[in-house]
Amino acid sequence: MTVVVEEGDLIARVEGSAGVIRLNRPKAINAVTLEMFRDIEKALDRFEVDPAVSVILLEGAGERGLCAGGDIRALWESSKVDGDLGKILWREEYILNARIKKFPKPYVAFMDGIVMGGGVGLSAHASHRVVTDRTKLAMPEVGLGFFPDVGGTYLLAHAPGEIGTFFGLTGQTMNGPDAIHARFADAVVPAAKLPGLREALTKVPLRASAADVSKLINRFATGETAGPVAARQATIDVLFAFDRMEDIVAAFERDGSEFAQSTLKTLGEKSPRGMVVTLKLLRLARQSGSLEECLVREYRAALEVFRSDDFREGVRAAVIDKDRNPKWSPPRIEDVTPDMVAPYFAEIGADELKFN
């Protein structure tokens, strides 16, 4: 066994023919720090050129989940003092997301337990995405005065119908089968079978193809492809079909069903500005041909979010004070003006995100 990154918050080593990357902050549900992103880059550098490594395996330490997201507390603290952590972390994270999407060797992500935010960015762009009966996948950023980033706008915009709009605006959780329906994952493998699959992945032949790895995973998979949210596809497609938040809210108010009422309540808890920005990003992403194009747009918007009172207030209410009672600015969707939204989409000159 070859250790690539010394054991700490991230473990990277070669096991058999697999390059294993383990997020190793179980007490924080493996929330990812800037240093961890940098260590993942180093590991991928080594694994990419190592002829003995046939497949990459991403996994999380502990029983709670792959990754609960980025280190949001550190970002909040930097934002409060007009720091530059957001600018640095998101640049490196988004470049890593794009690299994962194009990685030349099969990259298998075990999306077991909680998978949110930055964890989605490390896993849902993989070539082989394995969810389980314990998977709880979500992009809840609108509840933090933010939007689904790490390429989330690309993933959500390419989900069938308006399923991605639903998940992006509500922050609702997907189970494993719904993650497959939403095109965030490829196969459901029972958590009890993950150790067996893991062992098999460390024994794949050298230069195994993506198809070979898919066949291996499918030997352990249940074949499930749709969960409870997928069953509401027709209703969701009608109610989320609009390009303005006011029109979406009006459609739900007209509908009046139990589902509509519960969804309205959920939307009412989110940042009005965050929802308006998210919806515009999703509609633009639907017309985008590449993940990189969406990441460039997300980076512009993220830098604006980092400067906003809504982000600091959203994180305060959800993570710091945990009173679940954010005071959004502005407090109503109808008060979000085009002038407020425009800076999120403006070009940023020398700070633009660029890929190698």
Known catalytic residues are 70, 118, 141, 149
Alpha-carbon distances, residue 192 vs 108, 112, 197, 222, 226 (angstroms): 17, 11, 10, 12, 20
Report helix angle 163-170 to 272-286, nearest 10: 150
In one-letter notation, the amino acid at residue 160 is P
Tokens of 239: 């109610």
Label residues 127-162 b or e (16+ Cβ within 10 Å = b): bbbbbbbbbbbbbbbbbbbbbbbbbbbbbbbbbeeb
Of the candidates 175, 152, 151, 178, the residue with the CA atom closest to the CA atom of residue 165: 152
Name the burial class of residue 125, with classes exposed (0-12), middle (13-18) and buried (19+) by CB atoms within 10 angstroms of its CB: buried
Distances (CA, A) of 171 to 48, 80, 180: 34, 25, 17
| DSSP H or E segment with residue 129 | strand 128-131
| Residue 161 three-state SS | coil
**DSSP state, 332?**
S
DSSP alpha helices (H): ranges in the chain?
A: 34-49, 72-80, 85-101, 118-123, 152-157, 163-170, 176-181, 194-201, 210-218, 233-239, 245-255, 258-268, 272-286, 291-306, 309-315, 338-341
Strand pairing category for 114-116 and 107-111: unpaired
DSSP string, 189-244: --GGGHHHHHHHHTTPPTT--HHHHHHHHHTT-------TTGGGHHHHHHHT--SS
CA gap 240, 251 in Å, rounded: 8
